[in-house]
Structure 1
Amino acid sequence: MALRDLPHPLLRDRRAGVLLHPTSLPGEGEGGTLGADAYRFVDFLSDCGFTLWQMLPLGPTHLNRSPYQTLSVHAGNPELIDLDDLVARQWLSHEHRFNESPKQARRRAADTFFSRYDQHPEWAEGFERFCLEQRQWLDDYALFMALRDCYPEGDWTHWPDDIRLRRAQGMARMRRELSHSIEAYRFEQFIFNQQWQALRDYARKKQIALFGDMPIFVAHDSADVWANQSLFQLDAAGQPLTVAGVPPDYFSENGQHWGNPHYNWDEMQANGFRWWRQRVNTQLLWFDLVRLDHFRGLEAFWEIPAETPEPRLGRWVEAPGKALLNSLFREHKNLPLVAENLGFITEEVEALREAFKLPGMVVLQFAFDGDSKNPHLPHNYKPHTVVYTGTHDNDTSLGWFCSQDEAAQNRLLDYCHHSHDGMPQLLVRLALSSVANLAVIPLQDLLGLNSEHRMNRPGTEEGNWLWRFVWPQIPPHLSQTLVHWLTLYGRPPNLPLEHSRL
């Protein structure tokens, strides 16, 4: 495949980036926000010469905090909203900023916003324009969230029948009764969008492209499933007939039971994949590049009977991935997609990926099992590839190396000519020096952090998605070192984004 045939120009240059979810930024409270530390991180990336910031899905999460099981595929996570910005706009007092929960503070800011609505026509114009432009998902999302507050016990399948089944009379009644809460949830999304677009504009000025992540499946307890029940395999009570997961693989010897309901692909295809096209449009409002998580599920998905907790009892079922991708690429000729093609990958999956000229992924932590034909070894890479030292699902590279036996460690050292570089610097330089056009390094590996700083352990429920860094962890001369490495390996520091436009 010639590089000029790649579907998006950002995928043509040799670039490097850092993987860090915004919740892992420093700051007050339980997670990072889109505030001052996010802008400082963009500055850090620029100072180091990186031109990509990759992150995980941005949606509002359930209590387990997993960004891969969100309450909406369109909404932004309101926990990322910078409350200091609301104080600066005089919608929130310092007292309430620090003495109330973030949700209470956001609700108070919404009350102030609407109480002064008539005095500020520019507020009204901006808010109403946002609500109009995003109405295809925002109305259902705001009502869904208000209903969750109203019925906190159980998911939407436990709601009264007229609401669960979305009967017109019941829906109209709840929209009237919950109008105040609905407007507050709309306000949250309005503010999230404003703060996100301001951060994205700042990143563009610093020549930093934002690289997002789109899970292939959606959570059962979500606005998307409740509002589009015919598009999912559900029984009469709204419960999944089959659920998603994967068979035993590198990440889990027993397989994984994700619990996401499978799509009713026949219904989706009959309406021209409208739901998918709307979903992709949302991602393009946020990101310059998008990783399609679990890409292999577009060729065939692992279908687990809903009544069994055993992933290994599932089966592969063919999916209409070619028809879906044809529909998406008809709407966006240069769709900036990267395929996550890890795990059990067949020739059919790779054929689908290559048919649409989508770069795949390789992970150096997977490279030193097996023989010289291992596709994760750098000498087997092709340029239209994204290389990682590890992903959010992996241990940190230092933790991974320390967990390997002596033979595996020696294979890595031998492959790297017994370099005097320590770990994880050795793996970082191996990624940056490879022929893969895009190289992405988790921040933990740049900082040389051990297993205590891991983001996620697949197949486990507790202790995930909580990791955050602090600024003192960044060595004083790290930026100089990284600029040198990026220059040495032909990944020009601060490569202008204009070089990658059509």
Structure 2
Amino acid sequence: MFNRSSGILMHITSLPNKQGIGTFGKEAYDFVDFLKKSGQSYWQLLPIGPTGYGDSPYQSLSTFAGNILLIDLEVLKEKGLLTEEDFSGRDFGNQTDVVDFTKVNNEKTALLRLAYSRAEKSYKREMDTFVEEHKSWLIDYTLFMALKHDNDLRSWQEWPKALRTRQADAIEAAKVQHESEMKFWTFVQYIFFKQWHELKVYANKNGVEMIGDIPIYVAEDSSDVWSNPELFLLDEDNRPVCVSGCPPDAFSATGQLWGNPIYNWDLMDQQGYKWWIERIRATYELFDVVRIDHFRGFESYWSIPGGAETAVNGEWVKGPEMKLFDAIKEELGELKVIAEDLGFLTQEVADFKDASGYPGMKVLEFAFDSKEESDYLPHNYETNCFVYTGTHDNDTVQGWFINTDQGDIDKAIDYLKLTKEEGYHWGFIRGAWSSVGVVAVAQMQDFLGLDDKARMNIPSTIGGNWEWRMAPGQLTDELAKKIYDMTKLYGRLC
């Protein structure tokens, strides 16, 4: 389903502008123009759902809703919902190279509330239509957000029991009490989807497809779990019986404790995987291609007892495997999917991925272990794969050379024939672009030759992640031509 091509990985939040965070505004359209000029077929993003504690796009407050921080305020000003005076004295953060999520959230939410106060009546028809089209998740989400703000942003697990366990009388009373607040959250979702779809239409018209990203799990503190507790393995008090993670390995003696609730796969199977089908359907209303994070978890997943402090005492449990994806295919047809198959893989996982037919992932930074041969070396690639210099969870290429063992660095230099004249980061990009993998992708940071200060995320850490922003003026014609020439040289122009 993919032609030989290439793309750039950069999250919306990393775009430059004066609002403290990248948005769906002019700079996003400029980036599409840059992608077209540089011969790229794809713009790959991280999840664009509303973020909670830690600001991670992989721990969203909803798998269906959008992150309102990505709404462009300048567009609202052009439509008369905001004025120049409204921006006076606003503090979105004083650094242009990182996002100050606290300041951005405070200021943008206040301005969006102001815009809503001026738009409530004039946008009523559009909002009514929007509610009708998205009512399967929107009503629960807007009530969830209203209650979250009414409870000082605490997790729903800390709300009064009647609300936490969704007692019918309490829920109906809450809808009446918070009707106005629910309308605000409806308005900002309407604006989010409107701005996003306009950007996507522009990208598609210019030959650029959008690659989205969904985590296999949803966050415990999400409207998804709160409004559908039966779909997760929770006890009678709606506390997780078991949670997600990864087992101990060479990188972590205690494994990784993610903490997401585990799905009630038996019930989902009985329901024909309806919830998952709707999740995937909603995702493809936003994106052309979707990367499914932790794809191996559909074959077997690491289940950790609820309340555990580490991932050590977990166990492997069989997942739904192809039954889920057969159900999705039957309902939605053939879809463009990237299977994130990184990490510990068994033969069963490899067979499952092959049965799906989806391309897996190869990460060049994983290739150069000087102690052993690696499947991530380009000469071992199959055609049906996406090749990355690194992902959002990896260091930048220049950072990799700063923080990696010298033996691995020497192997990379020898294998890729890297030279300082070319630039090591360009040598890595050349290694990905020249490979047989059907699609090659590099982070924007790697095209810019940035070091580890521009790293997007260090897994299993909180604080300092997801903040990097590109500086204004870095998308030059010279850079676009250099990317275009390499893309043409290795036959990736479409």
Q: TM-score, normalised by structure 2?
A: 0.93
For residues 254 and 377 of structure 1, the distance between their equivalents in structure 2, rounded to whole angstroms, comes to 29
Deviates more, 1:241-250 or 1:44-53: 241-250
- 1:29 and 2:19 are equivalent in the alignment: yes
1:281 aligned partner: 281
TM superposition shift of 1:91: 1.5
Aligned residue for 1:67, secondary structure, equals: coil
CA 1:469–1:253: 2 relative to 1, 3 Å: farther
1:190 maps to a residue whose letter is Y
For residues 477 and 36 of structure 2, the distance between their equivalents in structure 1, rounded to whole angstroms, comes to 15
Equivalence map 1:204-353=2 (5 Å): 204-249=204-249, 252-353=252-353
CA offset digits 1:302-341 (Å, max 9, x no partner): 1111222111221111111221111111112211111000
Is this contact kept in 2: 1:363–1:376, CA < 8 A? yes
For residues 155 and 487 of structure 1, the distance between their equivalents in structure 2, rounded to whole angstroms, comes to 50
TM superposition shift of 1:244: 0.6
CA offset digits 1:428-459 (Å, max 9, x no partner): 00000001011010001000000011000011
2:147 maps to a residue whose letter is L
TM superposition shift of 1:81: 0.5
CA offset digits 1:193-227 (Å, max 9, x no partner): 00000000110111100000010001000000000
1:427 maps to a residue whose letter is F
TM superposition shift of 1:28: 2.1
CA offset digits 1:227-276 (Å, max 9, x no partner): 00011111222221111111234664542111101111111111111111
- 1:356 and 2:356 are equivalent in the alignment: yes
Is this contact kept in 2: 1:56–1:212, CA < 8 A? yes
CA 1:88–1:354: 2 relative to 1, 3 Å: same
Percent identity over paired residues: 42
Deviates more, 1:248-257 or 1:332-341: 248-257
Equivalence map 1:103-114=2 (5 Å): 103-114=109-120
- 1:377 and 2:367 are equivalent in the alignment: no
Which residue of the other structure, out of 42, 48, 52, is the alignment partner of 2:32? Answer: 42
Q: Which runs of 5+ in 1 are unaligned?
A: 1-8, 118-122, 496-502
Equivalence map 1:415-426=2 (5 Å): 415-417=415-417, 419=419, 421-426=422-427
For residues 76 and 463 of structure 1, the distance between their equivalents in structure 2, rounded to whole angstroms, comes to 22
1:433 aligned partner: 434
Is this contact kept in 1: 2:49–2:57, CA < 8 A? yes
Deviates more, 1:347-356 or 1:96-105: 96-105
1:181 aligned partner: 181
1:463 aligned partner: 464
Deviates more, 1:242-251 or 1:297-306: 242-251
For residues 391 and 254 of structure 1, the distance between their equivalents in structure 2, rounded to whole angstroms, comes to 24
TM superposition shift of 1:89: 1.1
Is this contact kept in 2: 1:453–1:467, CA < 8 A? yes
Aligned residue for 2:258, secondary structure, equals: strand
CA 1:74–1:281: 2 relative to 1, 3 Å: same
For residues 112 and 50 of structure 1, the distance between their equivalents in structure 2, rounded to whole angstroms, comes to 40
TM superposition shift of 1:124: 3.4
2:208 maps to a residue whose letter is I
Equivalence map 1:72-221=2 (5 Å): 72-99=62-89, 101-114=107-120, 116-117=121-122, 123-152=123-152, 154-221=154-221
Q: TM-score, normalised by structure 1?
A: 0.92
Aligned length: 477
1:316 maps to a residue whose letter is W
Q: Which runs of 5+ in 2 are unaligned?
A: 91-106
TM superposition shift of 1:158: 2.2
TM superposition shift of 1:471: 2.6
CA offset digits 1:456-491 (Å, max 9, x no partner): 001111111111111334455111111110110000
For residues 212 and 248 of structure 1, the distance between their equivalents in structure 2, rounded to whole angstroms, comes to 29
Is this contact kept in 2: 1:387–1:431, CA < 8 A? yes
Is this contact kept in 1: 2:281–2:332, CA < 8 A? no
CA 1:245–1:57: 2 relative to 1, 3 Å: same
Is this contact kept in 1: 2:417–2:427, CA < 8 A? no
2:444 aligned partner: 443
Aligned residue for 2:285, secondary structure, equals: helix
CA offset digits 1:347-374 (Å, max 9, x no partner): 1111111111010000000011167752
Aligned residue for 1:303, secondary structure, equals: strand
Is this contact kept in 1: 2:163–2:171, CA < 8 A? yes
CA offset digits 1:50-73 (Å, max 9, x no partner): 110001001000131100000000
- 1:454 and 2:444 are equivalent in the alignment: no
1:71 maps to a residue whose letter is L
CA 1:417–1:468: 2 relative to 1, 3 Å: closer
Is this contact kept in 2: 1:394–1:454, CA < 8 A? yes
2:111 maps to a residue whose letter is A
Is this contact kept in 2: 1:298–1:319, CA < 8 A? yes
Is this contact kept in 2: 1:252–1:459, CA < 8 A? no
2:45 maps to a residue whose letter is M
